[in-house]
Amino acid sequence: MAEPIRVLHFADAHIGMENYGRTDPATGLSTRLGDFVHRLDEMIAYARENDVDLTIFAGDAFKSRTPSPTHQRELAHRIRDLAELAPVVLLEGNHDLPQMDKKASAVEIYNTLAVPNVIVANTFTTTIVETKRGPVFLGFAPYPVRQQLMRDQDTAGKTIAELDRLMAHVLGSALEGFAEQADEYDMPRLLTGHFTVTGAIWGSERQIMLGRDVEAPLSVIADPRWDYVAMGHIHKHQNLTDGQKGAPPVVYSGSIERIDFGEEHDHKGFCWVELERGKSSYQFIELNARPFVTISADLREDENPTHTLIELIEKRALTGAVVRVRVEMKPETEARLDEGMIRDALKRGGAHVIAGIEKRVQQAARARLGGNPEELSDEDLLERYLLSKEVPPVRRESLHQLADPIFAGHLEDGAPDD
């Protein structure tokens, strides 16, 4: 009996995402660049030790459509290492695509140079790849570019909602055609895509989305004619057909490293697949992603807020973490808080970066904005509004967490793309 084909499935490397980093004195590069490439190195070591047969990189190699030469170099080293082990499929994601149709994508260079053992999947198509444990039928569904996918469709006079429905229909029809082709071959079959599937749970990636998204129904993807569906685009690892009889695993591997505090509690890693016709399985292998830690405290009635907060800090595992502090205070307790001592405690605890110390100062009931609103931060304006509406503290905390990625907007790179 043939052995299962061993497939490495990962996605959303987003090399170039350097928020919450600092300069590494040894290299002169951002420590956050190091985070992302170290995760790739951990994954490659696992693939080597476990004798990988095929690698599926399901899109979004870089943060930017125009990666710097340094970012290109760091990825190229890892693609070379993977290609020395087994064939590598590079699926184009939305972050890899140029804004204009005729421009090259961020990963097209691997096709141009005809890099051995590397396949750039930049069109909707199917192919058969030979591996050392046997052939695999592959379906490629890169990020759906509207102009390309709907080139033969009549779009005149249609509303945005109608265009979205038409786009989903065209995408579904293409995927159905792939499944019909797959059914002609008696071998393991794998579909890889970079788009949203109905029912998937989003994370912080909404804040770095490039372009409008199209959604494909799960019923089209979870087709038993496939043995495994390797998805990219959504950063939270999830199996959309978990426990569903007769359906293949439809799996978002998730991103390999945390981007911001919206992913604080998400596990990061890759999928190790044993691909067989009709009975594939996979494991999620967790990577050593950099921890993000939020320390929250209600110090409104505290006589010694500095001491209390330092005690809380000393109880947390902060080594190597990106840390933020959020405290509820009254004006009188705010005056007693020594922020310098708090920062010293965080550094002693091993914090890699202190993302901020946010003091939410409770004003009198139904406080008005007062003063000049232009002098207040977005967080302060939101807090004062919530206070004026007498929103309870727990609810205020939840709303602030939801608002954080919106306010952040990755300002270190300017305004976010559309």
d(CA 185, CA 171): 22
d(CA 119, CA 99): 22
| Structure token pair of residue 292 | 């993000």
Determine contact, residues 8/57, Cβ cutoff 8 Å: no
The whole-number pLDDT of residue 94 equals 87
Q: How far is CA 205 from the centre of its chain?
A: 5
Phi-psi region of 27 (alpha: psi -120 to 50; beta: other; left: phi over 0): alpha
Taking each continuous run of H as one helix and of E as one strand, the counts in the chain are 11, 17
The whole-number pLDDT of residue 97 equals 80
Per-residue pLDDT of the chain (418 residues; tens, 9 = 90+): 589 999 999 999 999 988 999 999 988 999 999 999 999 999 999 999 999 999 999 999 998 888 999 999 999 999 999 999 999 999 998 888 876 566 778 888 888 888 999 999 998 999 999 999 999 999 999 998 766 655 556 666 667 676 677 777 788 888 999 999 999 999 999 999 999 998 899 875 554 444 457 788 899 999 999 999 999 999 999 999 997 888 999 999 999 999 999 999 999 999 999 999 999 999 999 999 999 999 999 999 999 999 999 999 999 999 999 999 999 999 888 989 999 999 999 999 999 999 999 999 887 544 455 556 666 777 778 888 887 777 877 788 778 878 877 876 544 444 444 4
Determine contact, residues 330/300, Cβ cutoff 8 Å: yes
Residues 6 or more apart from 332 whose CB is under 8 A from it? none
d(CA 67, CA 61): 9
Determine contact, residues 376/351, Cβ cutoff 8 Å: no
Beta bridge partners of 382: none
* DSSP state at residue 230: E
Angle, alpha carbons 396-402-404 (nearest 5°): 100
d(CA 225, CA 139): 12
The whole-number pLDDT of residue 391 equals 80
Q: In 154-229, which residue ranges form alpha helices assigned H by DSSP?
A: 160-182, 218-221
φ/ψ of 238, rounded to 5, equals -165, 145
pTM of the complete model: 0.82
87-125 b/e with 16+ CB inside 10 Å = b?
bbbbbbbbbbbeeeeeeebbbbebbeeebeebbbbbebe
The whole-number pLDDT of residue 206 equals 53
Query: What confidence tens digit (pLDDT) does each residue in 353-383 have?
Result: 999 999 998 875 444 555 566 667 777 788 8
d(CA 400, CA 407): 10
For strands 134-141 and 125-131, give the pairing: antiparallel
> At residue 369, what is the residue type?
L
| Structure token pair of residue 98 | 């140029």
The whole-number pLDDT of residue 197 equals 93
Q: How far is CA 352 from the centre of its chain?
A: 21
φ/ψ of 398, rounded to 5, equals -60, -45
Which CATH class name applies to 5-286?
alpha beta
Sheet hosting strand 353-361, strand order edge to edge: 292-298, 322-329, 353-361
Query: What confidence tens digit (pLDDT) does each residue in 74-112 have?
Result: 999 999 999 999 999 999 988 888 765 667 788 888 888
Sheet hosting strand 269-275, strand order edge to edge: 118-121, 88-91, 54-57, 5-10, 269-275, 281-286
d(CA 309, CA 358): 13
The whole-number pLDDT of residue 349 equals 96
* Residue 321 Cα distances to 177, 293, 345, angstroms: 47, 7, 13
**Where does the chain hold its CATH 3.60.21.10 domain(s)?**
5-286
